[in-house]
Amino acid sequence: MGKQPSVVDRILKAKEQQATELVLADLKLNYFPESLADLNGLEKLDLYANNLTLLPESIGQLHNLKYLNLQWNILSKLPESIGRLKNLRELYIATNKLTHLPESIGNLENLEILNVNFNTLDALPESLGNLHKLKNLTLNGNFLSSLPESFGQLKNLEILNLEENVFASLPTVLAKLPKLRQLEYAGNPLPQPPEPVLQKGLPALIQFLSDPGNL
The class (CATH top level) of 7-214 is alpha beta
CB 118 within 8 A of CB 94: yes
* Average per-residue pLDDT for the chain: 93
pLDDT of residue 151: 96
For the chain, the domains span: 7-214
pLDDT of residue 170: 84
Regions of the chain where pLDDT drops below 50:
1-2
pLDDT of residue 117: 98
pLDDT digits (tens, 9 = 90+) for 12-31: 999 999 999 999 999 999 99
pLDDT of residue 202: 87
pLDDT digits (tens, 9 = 90+) for 81-107: 999 999 999 999 999 999 999 999 999
Q: Is 138 helix (H, G, I), strand (E, B) or coil?
A: strand
Sheet with 67-69, side-by-side order of all strands: 21-23, 44-46, 67-69, 90-92, 113-115, 136-138, 159-161, 182-184
d(CA 98, CA 96): 6
pLDDT digits (tens, 9 = 90+) for 116-131: 999 999 999 999 999 9
